[in-house]
Amino acid sequence: MTASSDTPLGRLKELGLTLPNAAAPVANYVPFVRAGALLFISGQLPLGANGVDPAHRGKLGAGVSLQDGQSAARQAALNLLAQADAAVGDLSRLRAVRLGGYVNSAPDFAALPQVVNGASDLIATVLGENGKHARFAVGVAQLPLDAAVEVEGIFEILP
């Protein structure tokens, strides 16, 4: 498949991004499950270039800025797309159904939706019309590897 600007890979290229290798699970679970036409992708952390350590660690509202939180959500969404590509082999066959965003946050941090916008914006840009999705954003006391954000997703696999 060519990477023209009207394909998900082309849109990634225009953003200066490439899909990383799909990350291996860090515990006893599988990275994705296909159930009929639905693809459920386990939570993805904002793992950096080495695929092992989070690019952004810590709590939003207690040392991690909103901008870094959005960057973490964007990186987690890129890793989500890498898992989707590993599952289906063609991002143009996906329609986003729902994203879930978990934000490692201080108790009084309220900008949870704005943090998870980093993930939503990337998915909407890369998948185009098929990137529109339902979503939730919640604050949590802690995430694996002290990651700032974790993002999970449900996609429909198109024929």
The pLDDT, as a whole number, for residue 49 is 78
Task: Report the 10 Å Cβ neighbour count for 129.
Answer: 7
Boundaries of every domain in the chain: 8-157
The pTM score is: 0.94
Given the DSSP bridges, would you call strands 134-140 and 32-35 parallel, antiparallel or unpaired?
unpaired
Query: Where residue 1 falls among pLDDT bands split at 50, 70, 90?
Result: very low
- CA dist 115 and 135 (Å) reads 12
The pLDDT, as a whole number, for residue 53 is 87
* Tokens 């386990």 belong to residue: 42
By the 10 Å C-beta count (0-12 exposed, 13-18 middle, 19+ buried), 156 is classed as: middle
Structure tokens given for 137: 């954003």
Structure tokens given for 30: 């599988």
Least confident of 26-30, 49-53, 56-60, 62-66: 49-53
* Neighbouring residues of 67: CB distance < 8 A, sequence distance ≥ 6: none
Is the torsion defined by CA of 151, 156, 158, 159 positive or negative?
positive
The pLDDT, as a whole number, for residue 3 is 63
Architecture of the domain delimited by 8-157: 2-Layer Sandwich (3.30)
Structure tokens given for 112: 């949870």
pLDDT in tens, 112-138: 999 999 999 999 999 999 999 999 999
pLDDT in tens, 57-70: 999 999 999 999 99
